[in-house]
Amino acid sequence: MKPIISTQPIPPKTLTPDAYRQLEHSASLKGLLKPFKGKGELDYLAQVARETEAQLCHLMEAVVQQAGQPPYSLLDIRLVLQNTSAGSTFLRWRTRDFARMGVAVWERQVSNKALPQAVREELHRFECERIALNLQMSVVHSLYRQASTCAIKMASAERLLRQFTPAAEISR
């Protein structure tokens, strides 16, 4: 059986250690595992998580762009960005006609016996990158939501305390 696409040069890998270098510094857990003294520190944590989400989105866009180049663009599969109602973004596999979505679409394509092995291996790499980036986005987005919610709760607790604290004690 003739391959469904010709084997063309495979582009370089997108998610190299250099691609993550900037994320490593902003996403340290060192700042998470400490006592928070007030709303400001939680707001800062939420801000860092939001910035990290944006950086992850750039990495996702790079993977989508690479997966959209030949020979992959000749397949009946697309890697796309999907924005969720919760405000985060995830990578999803879709058919070219957008009729189906999910890992089953990728599995069907990779299982095609006419697919050249080099392309199959690169689709595997894209799938592994998709899984890892989606995990990272999920964790960071959850951290953002939790930090934001906790900042609101802490501000509410501080307001309540101020309502019942004599003015002389506030100025101390």
- For residue 2, pLDDT over 60 is answered with no
Q: Assess if residue 117 is contained within a domain.
A: yes
Cα separation, 75 vs 89, whole angstroms: 24
Q: Which of 7-21, 58-72, 155-169 has the lowest mean pLDDT?
A: 7-21
Q: Assess if residue 80 is contained within a domain.
A: yes
Band of residue 103 on the pLDDT scale cut at 50, 70, 90? very high
What does pTM read for this prediction?
A: 0.81
Determine the structural domain holding residue 99 and report its residue range: 37-162
C-alpha 103 chain-centroid distance: 17
Check if the beta carbon of residue 78 is closer than 8 Å to that of residue 68: yes
Q: Assess if residue 9 is contained within a domain.
A: no
Cα separation, 142 vs 148, whole angstroms: 10
Within the chain, what is the greatest distance between any pair of CA atoms? Answer: 87
Q: Which of 64, 66, 71 is nearest to 9 (CA)?
A: 71
Number of domains in the chain: 1
Q: Assess if residue 171 is contained within a domain.
A: no
For residue 165, the model assigns a pLDDT of 85
